[in-house]
Structure 1
C-alpha cells in the first residue's frame, strides 16, 4: 500500500477539524455572517441589540438579532474564534437541521431567561450564550457516543458555569460586563433540545 502523500494528510487534517469541503465553506460563510454587523458600527448595534425597552415597544426582531450583533469588532472576533472552536469539535455531531433546532432552543432559552429572571438587564449583545448552548449539545453528543473527550468537556463546562455563577466572569473573559446568566440559559436551552435529538452515529 502506497504511503499517503501530503495532500491526503492535509485533507485528513481538515476533516478532523470539520473544515473539509462543504463543512469548511459553511464555516467560512458563518464567520463572515457573524462579523458582518460590526461594519454597521454603533448605529447598527443600537438597532439590533437585545433591548428591554425596545422589546416592550414591540421590536421583537431583537430577540434574534441581539445574539448576532456585538459590542465591537474585537468582541465579534472573539465570538468568531469561539464559533470556529465549537465547529472543530462538534460540527458533525448532529445533522444541519438538528443543529438549527439546537440554536433556536438556545436563543429561546436565553431570551426567556433574561426577560423573566433578569429584569434589571436593559440590553445585551453577543453570541457567547448561544455558543455555550452549542457546546452543551455537542458535549452531550460526545457522551452518548462514548468519545474519550466527553467527560472532560462536561467537567469543563460544568466548572465554568459554577465559577461564573459563584464568582463571576472568568479572568480571561476580557470584560467584567459579561452577562454570565446568558451562558447558563444557553446551556439549558441547548441541552433541552439536544436531549430529544440523537446524535449522528460514529463511523465504524
Structure 2
C-alpha cells in the first residue's frame, strides 16, 4: 500500500467540483461521448425529418446531444459551461434538468411543426437558450447582479439572428450553417419556464412570510 503526496488534495478538489457542477458535467460527458461515436452515432440520433415521419420520434430529443463535428460540439459545450457558471446556482440541479428536457422538446417539436422546411439538424445550442432565458429571468426576479444585462443581451442576440442571421463568428467556428430558429424555440421555452418558476417562488415566499394582518393569538 502506498500514498502519493498530494493525492488527497486532488481527490478533495475533484469531489468539490463534482458536487458543485455535476449536472453540467453529465451533459458535457454525454455530448463528448456521442461525438466520439462519429458519423454512425450522429446519423442515428440526428433530427431527420423523413425518419421522424417514419416513426423515429426519439430524434426530436437526441438531436440536441449530437453535433456536426468537434468544432461544433466544443463551441456548444463552451457555451454550456459559461451558462452553468452564470446560472447554475440560480437554477439549481432540478430546474436545470427540467430546462434540459423542456428545451429539447421545445426545439424538436418547434422545428418539426413550425419549420417543416428543415430536413436535418444537430446541436444543443437551442437548449442553451432555454437555460439562458430561464436563468436570466430568475436572476432579474431575484435582483441578482447582471441579470438585466444578460437578459437584454439575449434579446439583442435573438433579434440580430432574426434580422441578419447567425453571428459571423459562430458560422466560422463550426464551418456550416446554424439553425437560428432553434435558438428562438429554446428561448421561448426558457421564458415560459422562468415565468412559471418566478410565480412558484413568489407563492412559496408568501406562504413562508407571516402575514402582518394576521391577528395574534389571545
Pairing of 1:62-141 with structure 2 (within 5 A): 62-141=59-138
If the length of structure 2 is used for normalisation, what is the TM-score? Answer: 0.78
Larger radius of gyration: 2
If the length of structure 1 is used for normalisation, what is the TM-score? Answer: 0.84
Q: Which digits, 9 at most, give the CA deviation of each residue in 1:54-107, with x for residues without a partner?
A: 000000111111000000111111111111001100111123222222222222
Q: 1:33 aligns with which of 8, 30, 33?
A: 30
Cα pair 1:93 1:200 within 8 Å, conserved? no
Cα pair 1:94 1:200 within 8 Å, conserved? no
1:192 aligned residue: 192
Separation in structure 1 between the aligned mates of residue 176 and residue 157 of structure 2, nearest angstrom: 15
Cα pair 2:60 2:109 within 8 Å, conserved? no
1:48 aligned residue: 45
The structure with higher relative contact order (CA 8 Å, sep 6+) is: 1
Separation in structure 1 between the aligned mates of residue 118 and residue 93 of structure 2, nearest angstrom: 32
Separation in structure 2 between the aligned mates of residue 30 and residue 112 of structure 1, nearest angstrom: 21
Note the residue ranges of structure 2 that are not aligned, 5 or more in a row: 1-12, 203-218
Separation in structure 2 between the aligned mates of residue 120 and residue 26 of structure 1, nearest angstrom: 34
1:167 aligned residue: 164
Separation in structure 2 between the aligned mates of residue 193 and residue 128 of structure 1, nearest angstrom: 17
Flag the structure with higher helix content: 2
Distance 1:69 1:176, change over 3 A: closer
Across the two proteins, how many residue pairs are aligned to each other?
Answer: 184
1:143 aligns with 2:140: yes
Separation in structure 1 between the aligned mates of residue 176 and residue 161 of structure 2, nearest angstrom: 11
